[in-house]
Amino acid sequence: MAASFTAPATGAAGRPPGVRVGLGDLSRRDFLRFCSWVTAVLALPPRYVVRVAEALESRARPTVIWLEFQDCAGDTESFLRASHPTVADFIFDIVDLAYHEVLMAPAGARAELSLRQAIERARGEYLVVVEGSIPTAAGGVHCTVGGRTAMATLREVSEDAAAVIAVGTCAAYGGIPAAAPNPTGAVGVRDLVTEVTVMNMPGCPVNAVNLSAALVHLLTFGELPSMDDLGRPLFAYGATIHDQCPRRGHFDAGRFVKEWGDEGHRQGWCLYQMGCKGPTAGHNCPVVGWNDNTSWPVAAGHPCIACTEPGFWDSASPFYTWMGQDLLPQRAEEDEGSEGLGVALGIGGAALAAGAGAAALAAQRRRRRAAAAAGSEARRPGPPEEATTA
Ligand code: SF4
pLDDT digits (tens, 9 = 90+) for 282-327: 999 999 999 888 899 999 999 999 999 999 999 999 999 998 887 7
User: d(Cα 153, Cα 155) in Å, to the nearest integer?
Assistant: 5
Model pLDDT, residue 351: 43
How do strand 63-68 and strand 127-131 relate by DSSP bridges?
Answer: parallel
pLDDT at 11 over 50: no
User: d(Cα 305, Cα 297) in Å, to the nearest integer?
Assistant: 9
The CATH number of residue 312's host domain is 4.10.480.10
How do strand 134-135 and strand 127-131 relate by DSSP bridges?
Answer: unpaired
Residue 247 Cα to ligand 1 midpoint, Å, equals 6
Residue 50 lies in a domain: no
Range of the domain at 205: 62-235
Lowest mean pLDDT among 95-104, 234-243, 259-268: 95-104
**pLDDT tens per residue across span 113-169:** 999 999 999 999 999 999 999 999 999 999 999 899 999 999 999 999 999 999 999
Ligand 1 binding site (Cβ under 6 Å of any ligand atom)? 241-242, 245, 247-248, 251, 270-272, 276, 278-279, 298, 304
Is 138 found in the same domain as 173? Answer: yes
Is 245 found in the same domain as 230? Answer: no
Residue 52 lies in a domain: no
Is 258 found in the same domain as 167? Answer: no
Residue 41 lies in a domain: no
Residue 46 lies in a domain: no
Structurally, the chain folds into a number of domains equal to: 2
Q: Which of 279, 276, 281, 252 has its CA nearest to residue 265?
A: 276
Is 71 found in the same domain as 137? Answer: yes
Is 255 found in the same domain as 194? Answer: no
Is 360 found in the same domain as 327? Answer: yes
User: What does the DSSP 8-state code read for residue 233?
Assistant: B
Domain final residue, candidates 235, 257, 292? 235
Residue 31 lies in a domain: no
2: amino acid identity, one letter: A
Greatest Cα pair distance in the chain: 72
Residue 200 dihedral angles phi and psi, to the nearest 5° = -95, 130
For ligand 1, mutation pick of 243, 244, 270 (most atoms within 8 Å of CB) = 270
| 278 Cα nearest atom in ligand 1 | 8
Residue 178 lies in a domain: yes
Is 210 found in the same domain as 272? Answer: no
pLDDT at 112 over 80: yes
Is 77 found in the same domain as 197? Answer: yes
- Residue 25 CA, chain-centre distance (Å), reads 28
Is 286 found in the same domain as 173? Answer: no
